[in-house]
């Protein structure tokens, strides 16, 4: 290996590590914000929903596409929402192309006969995908406030009573609630997803919102002021995460967002890795697309302070961290050989301590979010340690898949909105096998993921002749992570 190539590898590796370190510092700052906010009690002005004059009209939008397995559960649950019927309408925004359309129409008609104002709205095409459906529904929505739920969400009956009152403050454009997980303990895959989402919905959302930094409406389990949607430019379908896009445009227009950590909205997690893949791809590519679309507006905005700009940029770069992680992983084996070939460059490897420090920071941050939901007993801490390193390994295993998504987003490659299949999985005995929406195709990334599993096995072996075990734990987690993703992908075909 030439000295020039060696220096290039060291430079790229070091830059990626430093970027990961900055990300972990941003997370640590959010933890400080989170812990400070938990000690505060705030009283906000609220609508009095006991006074008929103060009860605003609400529209609930249910954007759906081929949801045969969960439609009945969704509609039955939404029909139980407690709110004056004269001030509530429900729009079933149905873009489905399968047999579920007829069943949905039948169930909507039954609910109409009970006196519920519920409409089954169909479109001629899926232009704009979910954003397009929401936009078309908004044109005829009667409500001043628009609550949105994806098909796998099951809000409690008093959900509107807990969220609508905050709109008494006319500066608030969105109220977002925390996602819960009805099938958290179904499998290792669901536990990992719940772990990552819990960190976002506690540490990140509270940490940002408590200091007035930008947060995002999460696409579901939240409610918008209709005026805010129009003022921000309405829904746009030019990114895969239309929720993040509209959220930033609204906040750049000085609208406030209110996040309610204590209001949980239960939902179903993907139970098959192909479904998790499609969801991860959409979220990570959409994040990169929004960075490309919005970051300059955030940096040049005159109405927001520097710290809000910093957290906004880091937020938009969240998904791009997978690119940094994958780069560090890929170059770690050449770096191992560089260290043992060029003794005079050994000082460079002190930069590796950035990665260890970043891991420790994230370990501490995620513990505080984990214990806020699961409790802080010793047994829970032991469970947390196991779950953290399992999560870490599988996140590394997803790094190739998510890096491809991020690169496509940054390079402006357009792709279709691929929905996440729903399963109606409520307990450990329910099965996903036979779900007709599961993709039968193997991901082309799987071949590379198998090769990477072998590559990091070689990395572990390399520690033996070099007598250098510093990167052995990292390579072990990478080997297990890519192995998990590969074999789960291989065996999860319907």
- Which residues are part of the catalytic machinery? 95, 243
Residue 244 burial (C-beta neighbours within 10 Å; 0-12, 13-18, 19+): buried
Token pair in block for residue 211: 């200091």
Burial status of residue 10 (CB atoms within 10 A of its CB: 0-12, 13-18, 19 or more)? buried
Q: How far is Cα 223 from Cα 219, in angstroms, rounded to an integer?
A: 10
Compute the distance between CA of residue 431 and CA of residue 425 in angstroms, rounded to an integer: 7
What b/e readout covers 377-413, taking b as 16+ CB neighbours within 10 angstroms? eeebeeebeebbebbbbbbbbbbbbbbbbbbbbbeee
Angle ∠(30,131,295) on CA atoms, nearest 5: 40
And the tokens for 297? Answer: 């507006």
Residues 6+ apart with CB under 8 A from 321: 19, 20, 23
**DSSP bridge partners of 93:** 63, 121
Cβ(151)–Cβ(64) below 8 Å: yes
Q: How many CB atoms lie within 10 A of CB 43?
A: 5
CA distances from 314 to 213, 221, 275, 442 (A): 11, 24, 27, 33
Rg (CA), the chain: 24
**Which residue pairs, CB below 8 angstroms and at least 24 apart, start in 349-354?**
349/470, 351/13, 351/14, 351/17, 351/18, 352/17, 352/470, 352/471, 354/17, 354/18, 354/20, 354/21
Q: Tokens at residue 121, please?
A: 């709205």
Helix (H, G, I), strand (E, B) or coil at 122: strand
CB 180 within 8 Å of CB 172: no
User: Contact, 264 vs 278, CB < 8 A?
Assistant: no
Residue in 429, 479, 436, 445 with CA at minimum distance from that of residue 329 = 479
């Amino acid at each position: 290996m030439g000295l020039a190539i060696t220096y290039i590898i060291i430079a790229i590796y070091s830059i990626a590590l430093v970027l990961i370190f900055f990300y972990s510092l941003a997370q640590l700052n959010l933890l400080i914000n989170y812990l400070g906010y938990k000690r505060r009690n705030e009283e906000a002005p609220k609508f009095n929903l006991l006074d008929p004059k103060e009860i605003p009209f609400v529209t609930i939008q249910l954007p759906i596409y081929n949801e045969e397995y969960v439609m009945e559960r969704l509609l039955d649950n939404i029909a139980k929402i407690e709110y004056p019927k004269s001030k509530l309408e429900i729009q079933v925004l149905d873009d489905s192309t399968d047999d579920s359309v007829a069943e949905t129409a039948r169930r909507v008609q039954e609910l109409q006969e009970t006196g519920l104002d519920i409409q089954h709205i169909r479109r001629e095409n899926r232009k704009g995908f979910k954003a397009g459906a929401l936009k078309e529904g908004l044109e005829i929505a009667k409500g001043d406030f628009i609550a949105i739920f994806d098909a796998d969400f099951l809000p409690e009956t008093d959900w509107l009573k807990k969220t609508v009152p905050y709109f008494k403050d006319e500066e608030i454009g969105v109220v977002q609630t925390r996602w819960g997980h009805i099938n958290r303990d179904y499998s290792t895959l669901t536990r990992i997803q719940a772990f990552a989402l819990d960190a976002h919905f506690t540490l990140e959302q509270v940490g940002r919102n408590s200091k007035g930094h930008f947060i995002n409406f999460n696409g579901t389990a939240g409610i918008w002021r209709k005026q805010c949607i129009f003022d921000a430019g309405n829904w746009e379908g030019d990114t895969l995460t239309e929720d993040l896009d509209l959220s930033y445009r609204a906040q750049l227009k000085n609208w406030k967002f209110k996040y309610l950590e204590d209001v949980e909205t239960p939902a179903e997690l993907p139970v098959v890795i192909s479904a998790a893949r499609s969801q991860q791809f959409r979220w990570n590519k959409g994040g990169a697309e929004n960075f490309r679309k919005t970051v300059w507006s955030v940096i040049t905005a005159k109405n927001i302070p520097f710290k809000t700009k910093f957290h906004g940029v880091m937020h938009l770069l969240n998904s791009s961290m997978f690119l940094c992680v994958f780069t560090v992983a890929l170059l770690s084996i050449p770096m191992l050989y560089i260290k043992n070939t060029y003794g005079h460059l050994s000082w460079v490897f002190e930069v590796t301590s950035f990665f260890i420090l970043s891991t420790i920071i994230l370990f501490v941050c995620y513990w505080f979010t984990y214990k806020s939901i699961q409790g802080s007993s010793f047994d829970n801490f032991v469970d947390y340690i196991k779950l953290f390193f399992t999560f870490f390994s599988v996140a590394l295993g997803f790094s190739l898949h998510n890096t491809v998504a991020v690169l496509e987003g940054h390079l402006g490659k357009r792709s279709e909105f691929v929905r996440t299949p729903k399963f109606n999985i409520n307990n450990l005995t329910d099965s996903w096998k036979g779900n007709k929406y599961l993709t039968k195709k193997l991901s082309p990334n799987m071949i590379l993921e198998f090769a990477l599993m072998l590559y990091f096995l070689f990395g572990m072996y390399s520690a033996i002749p070099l007598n250098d075990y510093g990167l052995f734990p990292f390579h072990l987690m990478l080997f297990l992570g890519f192995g998990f993703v590969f074999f789960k992908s291989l065996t999860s075909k319907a």
